[in-house]
Amino acid sequence: MSKNSHLVIYAIIFSCLVALFIIQINGKEKSSEKITNKENFESKSEISLDTDFTSELIMDSSVINNPSFKIAFVNSDTVSKYYKYAQKVQSSLLSKRNEAERQIRSKYQSYENLVKDFEKAAPIMGEREKMEKAQKIRLLEQEIMKVEQDLSEQLANEELTMTQSYILKTNDYMQVIGKNLGYDYVLSYRIGGPMLYANPNLNITSRVIDLLNKKYQSNN
Check pLDDT > 90 for residue 59.
no
Residue 101 and residue 152 in contact, taking contact as beta carbons nearer than 8 Å: no
The predicted pLDDT at position 63 comes to 41
Residue-range domain boundaries for the chain: 1-65, 71-218
Is 9's pLDDT higher than 70?
Answer: no
Contact predicate 72/188, CB 8 Å: no
| Dist CA 49 CA 41 (whole Å) | 12
| Of 203 and 2, the one with more pLDDT | 203
pLDDT tens-digit map of 25-46: 444 444 444 444 444 444 444 4
pLDDT for 192 equals 86
Q: How far is CA 37 from CA 40, 42, 51, in A?
A: 5, 9, 21
